Amino acid sequence: METIRLNTGIELPIIGSGTNTFGKENRDYMGKINGDTTEIETAITAGYRHFDTAISYRNESVVASGIAKSGIPRSKFFITSKLPGKPEYTSNEAAVQKGVEESLRTLKTDYIDLFLIHHPWNNPEEITSVWKVLEKYTDKGVLKAIGVSNFNEEQLKHLLDHSRIKPAVNQIESHPGLWNDDIIAYSLENNIVPEAWGPLTRVSPEAKKILTSIGEEYGKTWAQIILRYQLDRGVVVIPKSHNEERQKQNLDLFDFELTEEQKNKIAQL
């Protein structure tokens, strides 16, 4: 697996697995946690070592169990979790600490590779205060890197202006229905790695037809073309699939290269 070096110096696998419906009844985001680790296990067998979860997903324990069942050392995995932008996790230092400690306990680990503020809220000063607590955990090595999710340029700039440790990652929505070019460019300009959640969602029939046509030249699916395009422009991807074969396909991106003409066509979708 190829990696990218974050501004903290650690290596982030450029393809990870989303998990927000893993280990839940009916594969429903709001479904009851059933503890099923099947998708984690098949992903690990396929070669995934980068998993993205969050306190709000309620399934950090499922990710932890799947990793434990693999028998592969924790050090071989890159785990991301996220702090909700809710008062019970943000109102003061103790609330932030509660969130971090909760994740550590549920993930059954003494460190987290990447910890994100899950989403911004309308209180820049409080966001800065939360960030300062995360910086302390980074100083101690408990959080190896910290970042944000769903921050726009203004929100990211405020944090950059008021932080001691620069965000390592900005995880944002990016797919053919919304490439989000501007915030991706701004993140890259500031040495912050953009990471796409939901990279295979909101693909119109027209877009899928164009992507499938491009894929036929390489023996690749429309989904693989999307993911390759994102990687080519410096965006880490965290596709999610419950299907073992598609999990494998989402990793199989390194034996072809898109032409500039193809990339320009994809950018217009």
If you ran DSSP here, which 8-state letter would residue 32 be given? P
Q: Residues with catalytic annotation?
A: 57
Tell me the CA end-to-end span of the chain in Å, nearest whole number. Answer: 28
- 224 is written with which tokens? 């693989």
Residue recorded with tokens 């974050």: 6
Question: Are residues 225 and 239 in contact, defined by beta-carbon separation less than 8 angstroms?
Answer: no
Judged by DSSP in three states, 236 sits in strand
Tokens representing residue 154 in the block: 């203004």
Q: How far is residue 62's CA from residue 23's CA, in Å, rounded to a whole number?
A: 6
> What is the Cα–Cα distance from 136 to 182, expressed in whole angstroms?
31
Distance from C-alpha of 225 to C-alpha of 239, rounded to nearest angstrom? 13
CB 155 within 8 A of CB 121: no
Please, are residues 37 and 17 in contact by the beta-carbon 8 Å criterion? no
